[in-house]
Structure 1
Amino acid sequence: MKSLLLVSAANDHEISAWTYDDMPKLMKKKAFITPLQLATVAGMTGDDVEVVIWDEHVRGPVDECALLDTCDVVGVTAFSSHLRRARKIAQLARARGRYVVLGGPGVSAAPDTCREDFDTLFIGETENTWPQFLADFDAGDPKAEYRSADLPDMAESPLPKWESIAADLPYYVSGGVQVSRGCPFNCEFCGVWQIFGRKMRTKPVDQVIEEVRALEKLGLRHVLFCSDNFVGTPKYAKELLRAVIALNEEFSWPMMFTAELDVTIARDPEMMSLLADSNFSGLLVGIETPNVESLKETRKRQNLRGDLVETVRRIQSYGVPIDGSIIVGFDHDTTEIFEQQYQFIQDACIPLPKMHMLKAIAGTELRTRMDAAGRIVKVPQLDDARGSDDYLDAQIHTNILPAGMSRVELMRGYLWLIEKVFDWGAFETRIAGYVDNVQRQPQTKVEDPAIGTAAYLRGCTDRFTPEAATTIHRMLERTERVAPFMLASVARLSFRQVFEANRVHVIRKEILEQIELEETVWPVAEPPVPAGASMEAAPT
């Protein structure tokens, strides 16, 4: 092999957490995170091979890339929501005579749906299989599928190679650094523990620090620690955080970090202090729901200990905001869940929750249960795509038949929740509660308000709606009075609220169109339940 083109397929939904279409006007950002998976594959490839990474979220469609006519192999990575675009890339590349391979969580969850369109599939992690493929390809005998017999040791994962996209890095919000794989929990809707195992595997702290330092040298100021549960191994997490604190002291200005973790940190003051002092700007935490029966249903046992509102407020009292994952549509949810979720979000003062309708993703136990009950819906809007329900964006669509309400009731209630939560008045209330709740100031450098994020935000407000501009100025002035060290955090959250509020009208349009379509296709407002299907709620 002489040349390799690695492509991160775009999400072709109008609403996507992967892209920041409105952000270039304000922050020159086009995508959330660098394509770490492709940079890691590049790191596994010998220096004698020309490797080019093409991220469609930043560079646009790969269709006109000259390498499609000359490279030896096109490698595509995709989550489930990117698979439809991945197929189109494969068809385009194969029409030009290229050998096309596919990897990523999408194919690992449902390989049988991908075999027709790709020459080789990589199932699971590739540290053990990519080198074998390279050898087989050079020998003229590449296999149709590579599946690692063992879960790789994270110490064997190479340093990512960013050289081919170094010029693109300013367009990303975050640089990605993998720290661990696996999760000790087994939530029904999640496939992480089935793909990566329940035993945490961690990357050596020294290597993580080396990767962070490399991204800082390339100009990135924010790093997402890629882990499905950053605190799954608490001793390791604390060791890494202490190293991050020391590393930040080397830089002229500290790097910022985010990570995904669970609510158990609320019982560990040392962990919360270390996260704050490491300059974490946010924590993605799987809250899911205040409905206790729904938490039991989905096996979210770690959220059942203590009051969730108090748990969230305790974590945020250390000056780090939670991006709470919120889901509606569990079997034990009724139409009352939308008001319950809204009140919970407001009472807990979660600044910017990540809200979704429940979706049964391929490869999860939820999907297995829903399939067995005949409760997976082929959504009519996407009938032209093979296995269309796998490509739905859960921010807009759901592929299940709910047990406690109709699909239309779920969509209408979810839309109501989105509009209520991202209302500027509701956001201002949550921000005030978040700031007032902080009990411990993070031990990090504080931005100069005259030149920092808040100053830049104030200079942008003439581009916002009058309501947004007035609210932002009011929030910033209040924060300067009551907790000036929180000013940069509030400014960053306000920028994101601008983005979220701007997306509401598009979400509304798509959901209402979907409701109209389903009411036309299924006049009784619900698709027919297959013979033998059960609409009983999941056991608790």
Structure 2
Amino acid sequence: MTQLSFKHYGSKKDFKKIYLIAPKHPDNFWSMQGTADILGAKTLMPNSALATLMALTPPGVNIQYTLGDENISAVDFDFSCDLAVITGGTLHAARIHELCSEFKKRGTRIALGGTYASIEADRCGGLADHLFIGEAEYTWPLFLKQWTAGNALEINRQEHYIDLKDSPAPDWSLIRVEDYVNISIQTSRGCPNQCDFCDVIQYVGRQYRTKSIDQILQELQNAVDIGARTVFFSDDNFLGNKRFTKELLSKVIEWNVQQTRPLSFSTQITVQVADDDELLQMFADARFSVLFLGVETVRKESLAEVHKSQNAEKDIFERIRRISRFGIVPFIGLIVGFDNDDEGIFEDLEHFLVETDSPIAGISLLNAPRHTPLYKRLKEEGRLTEKNFSGEWQLHTNIVPKQMTIERMSLLYWDLFQKIYQPELFEDRFVKWLRNVDYFSTIYVNKKSDPRQLLLGVKIFKHFIFNDDRRVRALFFRILKKTWQINPKLVKRFFTVITQYSHFYSFVNCKQVK
């Protein structure tokens, strides 16, 4: 029997039971499940949308919440509740349909929301009793009042983008922080860019909206209070407004310096972050270890093709090198399958990773999510293989490439993916990356070490000592020795990257081209 915990809002008498469900993540590259396993966690991060729904509960309603995160434990379909609430993205579509079907068989009423229900509401007809389209900060409290009064709507649509300052700090009371690698904090929504293949702006728009800095600092304190070690800022673009980002980082640095054991951070951000050395130093001083960068491609023609001109404004090679000099790992996101891609693109991308000494990269196949400009264009050209995008960007595409067959592109794509994670080639890039770091923040030198870091170190050592792949086992000890010789201050960065590498290496060596 699945063990459940409960959180009450309002009176504990005459309350309604709500079962919050986070669907299981598919076993794909971006799940980072291998990294979570090494660190003794069960998954990458908790579902902040469900925790936010809890925090949005208005006064005057009596609710008992129960959390069912499928990434932590199995959902109890027989749990007696008044409402099952399910959220997820397009990547979770198949599982969302299964969850709704199982609860419906048992007569449980269902509420469905999230990016999948919002962007592809036409695929959700009949799945749930109550459908939420768009952001929920205003519709959820109103729904709870109506639902407990017996007059809830079937369709709950947020017509206009909300003021993000009205979004409360997530209520993390139903999670065990040790089950997760990161705690997630969202500081903004909306992205001013308009990349043709991106469906994010279909949901949150292009207007960049932020929480107040005081709100964000409170969420950071909440993360510390529950025992978090690392925080992932889950913004779609952490640099939507540079003035705000600098102000926020300044306050985060002040806050983090005051902590007995400072947090470390990561986020996803545009490559334009590299154009300001002062900004990069602030990221380093705030203790950002990794920045995920949507580089996509090195061909300017392909960037122009999908309206991602901001990546072509300055030399991408130098941009990545500059980020690395500050000791921040550039997690490179690449895509193949643009109209301007011929077979030579794979050599171009390999050359880019080698020349920039980028140790970690995720390579995707171009897809056209529904309701995006790219989808519309390719549909008109008759170059879509299916109507519904699955949400999977590895080993799958719904696009007919212009200069290669799908089979040929998939083969060359997978060859490159496997090649960059061959131990010797990875080692060469990573050791060169270590040697090129020339900025080391000094503002945390007198801070105590976190005893939990020692435990994590033991877990990592055990993983590699007993690793079945002798090449990976030998790689671990070779690079650890070289890291210590280059600069002992980089050992923490070594552990960050090597755990990610183990996940990626396993992924590319166990998946098959479909």
When normalised by structure 1's length, the TM-score is 0.87
- In the alignment, is residue 74 of structure 1 matched against residue 94 of structure 2? no
2:164 matched residue in structure 1: 154
Counterpart CA distance in 2 for 1:55 and 1:46 is 24
2:142 matched residue in structure 1: 132
Shift of 1:363: 2.6
1:467 matched residue in structure 2: 471
Counterpart among 195, 204, 213 of residue 221 in structure 2:
213
Counterpart among 89, 104, 117 of residue 107 in structure 1:
117
* Amino acid paired to 1:506: C
Partner deviation per Cα, 1:80-103 (whole Å, 9 max, x = no partner): 010110111111111211111111
Partner deviation per Cα, 1:398-446 (whole Å, 9 max, x = no partner): 1111111100011101110111111111111111121122121133546
Counterpart CA distance in 1 for 2:443 and 2:415 is 39
Counterpart CA distance in 1 for 2:77 and 2:148 is 24
Shift of 1:461: 2.3
1:43 matched residue in structure 2: 55
Counterpart CA distance in 2 for 1:459 and 1:50 is 41
- In the alignment, is residue 495 of structure 1 matched against residue 499 of structure 2? yes
Tell me the secondary structure at the aligned position of residue 325 of structure 1. Answer: strand
Tell me the secondary structure at the aligned position of residue 184 of structure 1. Answer: coil
Partner deviation per Cα, 1:453-502 (whole Å, 9 max, x = no partner): 66664454212222112222111211212222111101210111111111
Give the 3 Å change call, closer, same or farther, for CA 3–218 of structure 1 in structure 2. same
Partner deviation per Cα, 1:207-262 (whole Å, 9 max, x = no partner): 11111111111111011112111111112111211221122223221101111111
Shift of 1:305: 1.6
Instruction: Kindly tell me the number of residue pairs found equivalent between the two proteins.
Output: 493
* Amino acid paired to 2:39: M
Give the 3 Å change call, closer, same or farther, for CA 246–452 of structure 1 in structure 2. farther
Moved more, 230-239 or 173-182: 230-239
- In the alignment, is residue 398 of structure 1 matched against residue 397 of structure 2? yes
Counterpart CA distance in 2 for 1:442 and 1:319 is 9
* Amino acid paired to 2:375: R
Tell me the secondary structure at the aligned position of residue 192 of structure 2. Answer: coil
Matches within 5 A, 1:21-36: 23-24=36-37, 26-36=38-48
Counterpart among 253, 257, 264 of residue 256 in structure 1:
264
Counterpart CA distance in 1 for 2:290 and 2:52 is 25
Counterpart CA distance in 2 for 1:19 and 1:354 is 11
2:257–2:443 Cα contact (<8 Å) kept: no
Matches within 5 A, 1:98-497: 98-165=108-175, 167=176, 169-378=177-386, 389-443=388-442, 445=444, 451=454, 457-464=460-467, 465-497=469-501
Shift of 1:160: 1.0
Give the 3 Å change call, closer, same or farther, for CA 212–22 of structure 1 in structure 2. closer
Give the 3 Å change call, closer, same or farther, for CA 313–16 of structure 1 in structure 2. closer
Shift of 1:78: 1.0
CA RMSD of aligned residues (A): 2.0
Shift of 1:21: 5.2
1:532 matched residue in structure 2: none
Matches within 5 A, 1:1-20: 2-11=16-25, 13-18=26-31, 20=33
2:7 matched residue in structure 1: none
Give the 3 Å change call, closer, same or farther, for CA 304–277 of structure 1 in structure 2. same
Give the 3 Å change call, closer, same or farther, for CA 94–459 of structure 1 in structure 2. closer
**Identity in percent:** 30
Tell me the secondary structure at the aligned position of residue 146 of structure 1. Answer: strand
2:143–2:153 Cα contact (<8 Å) kept: yes
Give the 3 Å change call, closer, same or farther, for CA 466–311 of structure 1 in structure 2. same
2:261–2:450 Cα contact (<8 Å) kept: no
Moved more, 392-401 or 264-273: 392-401
2:27–2:33 Cα contact (<8 Å) kept: no
Counterpart CA distance in 1 for 2:459 and 2:450 is 11
Tell me the secondary structure at the aligned position of residue 135 of structure 2. Answer: coil
Counterpart CA distance in 2 for 1:193 and 1:215 is 28
1:19–1:57 Cα contact (<8 Å) kept: no
Q: Which runs of 4+ in 1 moved over 3 A?
A: 443-460
2:29–2:362 Cα contact (<8 Å) kept: no
Tell me the secondary structure at the aligned position of residue 240 of structure 1. Answer: helix
Counterpart CA distance in 1 for 2:450 and 2:120 is 50
1:92 matched residue in structure 2: 102
5+ residue gaps, structure 1: 379-386, 515-540
Give the 3 Å change call, closer, same or farther, for CA 19–117 of structure 1 in structure 2. farther
* Amino acid paired to 1:103: G
Counterpart CA distance in 2 for 1:296 and 1:439 is 34
Give the 3 Å change call, closer, same or farther, for CA 180–448 of structure 1 in structure 2. closer
Partner deviation per Cα, 1:50-86 (whole Å, 9 max, x = no partner): 11121111123x1x3543xx21111111110101101
1:517 matched residue in structure 2: none
When normalised by structure 2's length, the TM-score is 0.92
Give the 3 Å change call, closer, same or farther, for CA 21–499 of structure 1 in structure 2. closer
